[in-house]
Amino acid sequence: SQELEQSPQSLIVQEGKNLTINCTSSKTLYGLYWYKQKYGEGLIFLMMLQKGGEEKSHEKITAKLDEKKQQSSLHITASQPSHAGIYLCGADTSGTYKYIFGTGTRLKVLA
Amino acid sequence: KAGVTQTPRYLIKTRGQQVTLSCSPISGHRSVSWYQQTPGQGLQFLFEYFSETQRNKGNFPGRFSGRQFSNSRSEMNVSTLELGDSALYLCASSLGGQRGYTFGSGTRLTVV
């Protein structure tokens, strides 16, 4: 099984709707990152969370970290077609700067 | 500020051949990691280098190797290519510590 599980695996929403993507770790988190990827391209850094309870926002995207539950959520408000892509969470679960990634959530936003 | 540069962008090789991929990190970044991405397995960690030393290694066979030079540029080599090695290979660099990685656009390797 994956050390980082993301849910849902894919999501189709109507433009303007809110949505949430979850990332759950089976191990301790030493820093969690959210990235976005367009198909076949590199990953674009969205935000980094390090402390339990930490919450960060960038434009219409908000990410939270629940250290006790070893879980993070990414919330998009009023989704737009430009939000479409694959969202990946990445984390160091060993404390050795070895970053692993979740399986990704494929988001499609219908105009 | 230049981003992470990976060369070449696309590569087609024959089974049994070997290949070398190159990654130039952001200036000042000392940590470089390599990942393999396939539709079936997702993003899999290959190895991480910091100041020319391999600090972490993923669960890949010995055919996959890498190195980092004194200017932080990194190369990865895959010998005796197999069809299953076809993938997008991504390189990422970081200042080090828990600072997050910046990814390159990747090298798409196709083995025929």
Chain A contact for B86 (CB, 8 A cutoff): no
Question: Average pLDDT in the B73-84 region?
Answer: 97
Q: pLDDT value at position A5?
A: 93
d(CA A106, CA A85): 6
CB pairs under 8 A between A and B: 62
Instruction: Render pLDDT for B92-104 as a digit per residue (tens, 0 to 9).
Output: 999 876 677 899 9
Chain B contact for A39 (CB, 8 A cutoff): no
In sequence order, what are the beta bridge partners of B10? B108
Instruction: List chain B residues with CB under 8 Å of A103.
Output: 42
The distance from CA A63 to its chain's CA centroid, rounded to whole angstroms, is: 7
Sorting pLDDT into bands at 50, 70 and 90, what band is A2? confident
Instruction: Render pLDDT for A10-55 as a digit per residue (tens, 0 to 9).
Output: 999 999 999 999 999 998 888 899 999 988 788 999 999 987 788 9
In sequence order, what are the beta bridge partners of B54? B49
> Do residue B42 and residue A102 have CB atoms under 8 angstroms apart?
yes
d(CA A11, CA A90): 19
Work out the burial of residue B2: count CB atoms within 10 Å of its CB; fewer than 13 is exposed, 13-18 middle, 19 or more buried.
exposed
Residue of B nearest to A42 (CA): B105
